[in-house]
A and B are shown apart, each in its own frame.
Chain A
Amino acid sequence: MIVEDHKIYPYLRHKKKFPGVWCAGCGIGIVLAAIVRAVNDLGLAKDDVAMISGIGCSGRMSVYVDFNTMHTTHGRALAFATGLKMARPDMHVLVVMGDGDALAIGGNHFIHAARRNIDLTAIVINNSIYGMTGGQYSPTTPMGDLASTAPYGTIERPFSICALAIAAGAAYVARSTVYHAWELGRLIRQGMEKKGFAVVEAISYCHTTYGRRNQKGTAVDMMRELKEKGITQAAAAKLSREDLEGKIVRGVLADRAYPEYTAEYDKIIARARAEAGERVPA
């Protein structure tokens, strides 16, 4: 329950919007709070922040926050955000997606936003399943797990969201879980500070459509699993390959200095305008 003196309170839309659509015990609200803490820590005005979301449980997040918000089409949030960012390069544009949203239907937009290195902060909430539609297997469902469309277990290998983002050229890539909520907020803040395409994978769970089918217990049990599996990179470095299996490596996985797209485009404008001799007013 949000109380009025809580620091995230002024960032929420209260009238008629709560309680939210998410199941009791869901981790998405923790990601929402982590995002708001990041914005608050950076001291940004709400007017200067946009949240663009896709479709699915995560897509509904944009309704609840008092920013410039846009709930777009399935998988396309990054493409909408690209246009907005080009029109308003001064705006902090947060893009909230789910795993199916960002990596299946939106996979192409994901790798190309990373390749372009456009200054967006992409937060991918990975719950390993299509939750809103009832528990169909997603690109991050672990092999062998059950889903409503994998009654015999899925035979597809899952994507590593972060490995994909690093390979595609994102400037900043980090991972945490909804159990490690404070760390998650810090990583999102760093992502927002980074000039370039930043990906923060927030590992969550779906106790309703995935946990129940795969005997993972309650939301609390699944949260405990994140606590146990989530290890730092330093701890991971000490583990053998076999011991690393099934672990969640947290922290900043890539932080690189690449030319940022809107800054590069501004250079093109400067060059083209000089060539045109300021012939036409903007």
Chain B
Amino acid sequence: MSRRLVQGNTACVEGALWAGCRFFAGYPITPASEISERLSYELPRVGGKFIQMEDEIASLAAVIGASVGGLKAMTATSGPGFSLMQENLGYAAMAEIPCVIVDVQRGGPSTGLPTSPSQGDVMQARWGTHGDHPIIALCPSSVAEVYDLTVEAFNYSEKYRTPVILLMDEIVAHMREPMDVDGRPQIEVVDRSKTDVPPEWYFPYDETRSVPPLVSFGEGFRYHITGLMHDRAGFPTERQDEIDPWWKRVFAKINDSMDQICLYKKDDGLEDARTAVIAYGCTARSAAHAVKMARARRHKAGLLTLQTIWPFHDALIGELVSSARRVIVPELNLGQLALEVERVLGRSRVRRVNRVDGELITPRQILDAMEGG
């Protein structure tokens, strides 16, 4: 197929199907509904299953159930639904069940600004569910990137046995850009690892493995899954000598793989930039233009676009903007990822550019911050 205009939400569907998604459960919400609508049509054509559940809590529950049954599964929602999903997002983190949760961000809190763009769910993606837990969140800034990062979201969820959040925004989701879906470089698809041990030796939470294989229900391995803290066999435990290894392992499986998980793009100017912009999602598009304008004015400026925002790779990000005296962080919120950047670089080097009135940050606003005192 040749290039055609593709909507961000459609690219998400195409990426999911390429990655092997065969189950979707969701609840209608703008600006994510196109993902549900399209998958309700596409999934049965490839032998997959679609269900519209009674709410977003049930949607993620069904996704986890299907994943335990052996299907690659995902759901898609926006802020209000993402809030409801936090309960079972925690369950997926605790039970280490692979699944993909798409959150197409819109203005919040509550019903907020339907459906103006926002990046207000950055911290919710990190800390929305109760209790400490590792998480991966990816953030595309173009339609083609939506496709690629949807595939990576599935790959990461399968590889690391973890929920992965694809944090989109209304602009990226509803924007149409030319894209050649069939002609895209074919991203390698990762499936969850299988065990080679007999059922009586199988431990779904084996502390000696970074990511223990997850066997699907119905394959002759009768084991237990719970949201309670559990031992290596999956049964509830309150023993410190079983709880400690669990914590260490689930954080290490993500933290030790940061170099592989943390995706980013840097432009040519970043290497020796005096002023750097760190951006993600739709805001990165304004930032790219702002950096171009700054260079035209002979500023040494560079752009770092984060595609993986969680985990936040302190060392890498510090290194990438090391030449910059000033780092601009534009966001469609009142400063969420900026908190992380400030933590790594120190507040004196960081300038925030924020907007929450439902409109995009303009390149001019970012340029002003780059040139301002």
Contact = CB atoms under 8 A, between A and B. Distances in A.
Interface of A: 16-17, 46-48, 50, 52, 62-63, 66-73, 76, 79-88, 90-91, 108-109, 112, 265, 268-269, 271-273, 275-276, 279-282
A71 B61 contact: no
7 contacts: A48-B218, A70-B68, A72-B61, A73-B61, A80-B65, A83-B61, A88-B217
B298 interface: no
Contacts of A281: 46
A68 B218 contact: yes
Query: Of residues B61, B65, B219, which shows the largest number of chain A Cβ atoms within 10 Å of its Cβ?
Result: B65
A55 B70 CA distance: 24
Contact of A88 (B70, B73, B220): B70
Contact of A83 (B41, B47, B63, B87): B63
Interface stretch (B169-177, B222-230, B289-297): B222-230
B88 A76 contact: yes
A48 B218 CA distance: 6
Contacts of B57: 76, 79
A275 B45 CA distance: 8
Interface of B: 17, 22-23, 25, 41, 44-49, 51, 53-55, 57-59, 61-71, 73, 87-88, 91, 216-220, 222-228, 235-236
Contacts of B59: 79
Contacts of B54: 79, 108-109, 112
Sort A-B residue pairs by CB-CB distance and give the 3 closest, nearest first: A87-B69, A83-B65, A83-B62
A175 B55 CA distance: 29
A271 B70 CA distance: 23
Contacts of A112: 53-54, 58
A70 B226 CA distance: 6
A273 B44 contact: yes
A269 B218 CA distance: 22
Contact of B228 (A71, A81, A87, A90): A71
Nearest to B234: A69
A79 B58 contact: yes
B65 A280 contact: no
Contact of B222 (A66, A85, A271, A279): A66
Nearest to A83: B65
B70 A76 contact: no
A271 B91 CA distance: 35
Contacts of B220: 47
Contacts of B23: 83, 86-87
A87 B68 CA distance: 8
Query: Of residues A52, A83, A112, which shows the largest number of chain B Cβ atoms within 10 Å of its Cβ?
Result: A83
Nearest to B199: A47
Contacts of A282: 22, 46-48
Given A16-B235, A76-B88, A108-B54, A82 B224 contact: no
Contacts of B73: 83, 87
A82 B58 contact: yes
B224 A70 contact: yes
A82 B222 contact: no
Contacts of B62: 79-80, 82-83, 86
User: Interface on chain B toward A: helix, strand, loop, or mixed SS?
Assistant: mixed
B45 A52 contact: no
Given A79-B53, A83-B64, A280 B45 contact: yes
A202 to B, nearest CB: 22
B66 A67 contact: no
Contacts of A63: 224, 226, 235-236
Query: Of residues A71, A265, A281, which shows the largest number of chain B Cβ atoms within 10 Å of its Cβ?
Result: A71
Nearest to A118: B51
B58 A272 contact: no
B172 to A, nearest CB: 26
Nearest to A111: B54
Query: Of residues A16, A82, A90, which shows the largest number of chain B Cβ atoms within 10 Å of its Cβ?
Result: A82
Contacts of B53: 79, 82, 112
Nearest to A80: B65
A59 B49 CA distance: 28
A34 B55 CA distance: 33
Contacts of B66: 83-84, 86-87
Nearest to A115: B54
Contacts of B48: 282
A73 B226 CA distance: 9
Contacts of B217: 50, 68, 70, 84, 88, 91
A90 B45 CA distance: 21
Contacts of B71: 87
A17 B234 CA distance: 12
B51 to A, nearest CB: 6
B218 A47 contact: yes
Nearest to A270: B44
Contacts of A269: 44, 47, 49
A271 B227 CA distance: 38
Nearest to B95: A70
B49 A265 contact: yes
A73 B88 contact: yes
Contacts of B46: 276, 280-282
B235 A76 contact: no
Contact of B61 (A68, A69, A76, A87): A76
Nearest to A21: B236
A52 B235 contact: no
Contact of B227 (A16, A52, A72, A109): A72
Contact of B70 (A16, A87, A273): A87
A86 B44 CA distance: 12
Contacts of B222: 46-47, 66-69
Contacts of B25: 82-83
